[in-house]
Amino acid sequence: MELTGVERHYRRGFTLGPINLVIETGLTFLIGRNGAGKSTLFRLLAGDDAPSAGSLNWTTSDRRARIGYLPQDPLLPALSNIGDYLYHAAWLHRVPREDRNTAIERVADLTNLTDRLPQRIGKLSGGTQRRVAIAATIIHSPEFVLLDEPSSGLDPAQRVQLRAVIARMALDRAVVVSTHLIEDLQRQTDSTVVVLRDGRLIHQGPVSALEGSGASDDTVETAITRLMGESG
Of the two residues 144 and 220, the one the predictor is more confident about is 144
**Which residue, 46, 36, 37, 35, is CA-closest to 8?**
37
- Number of C-beta neighbours around residue 18 at 10 A: 17
- Cα distance between residue 184 and residue 156, in whole Å: 11
CA 33 distance to own-chain centroid: 17
Per-residue model confidence as pLDDT tens digits over 132-170: 999 999 999 999 999 998 888 888 888 888 888 899 999
Enumerate helices (H) and strands (E) in the chain, giving the number of each: 8, 9
Query: 8 forms bridges with which residues in the sheet?
Result: 16
The percent of residues above 90 in pLDDT, for the chain, comes to: 49
Phi, psi of 167, rounded to the nearest 5 degrees: -60, -40
What sign has the CA pseudo-torsion 43, 49, 51, 52?
Answer: negative
> Which of the four pLDDT bands, split at 50, 70 and 90, describes residue 231?
very low
What was the pLDDT predicted at 14? 84
Mean pLDDT of 34-58: 87
Q: Please, are residues 9 and 52 in contact by the beta-carbon 8 Å criterion? A: yes
What was the pLDDT predicted at 210? 75
Which segments within the chain are labelled E, that is strand?
A: 2-9, 15-22, 26-31, 53-57, 67-70, 144-148, 174-178, 192-197, 200-206
Per-residue model confidence as pLDDT tens digits over 51-99: 999 998 876 555 556 899 998 888 999 999 999 999 999 999 999 999 9
Domains of the chain (ranges plus CATH)? 1-59+145-232 (3.40.50.300), 73-142 (no CATH)
Mean pLDDT of 17-33: 91
Q: How many residues does the chain have?
A: 232
- Cα distance between residue 46 and residue 36, in whole Å: 18
What was the pLDDT predicted at 17? 84
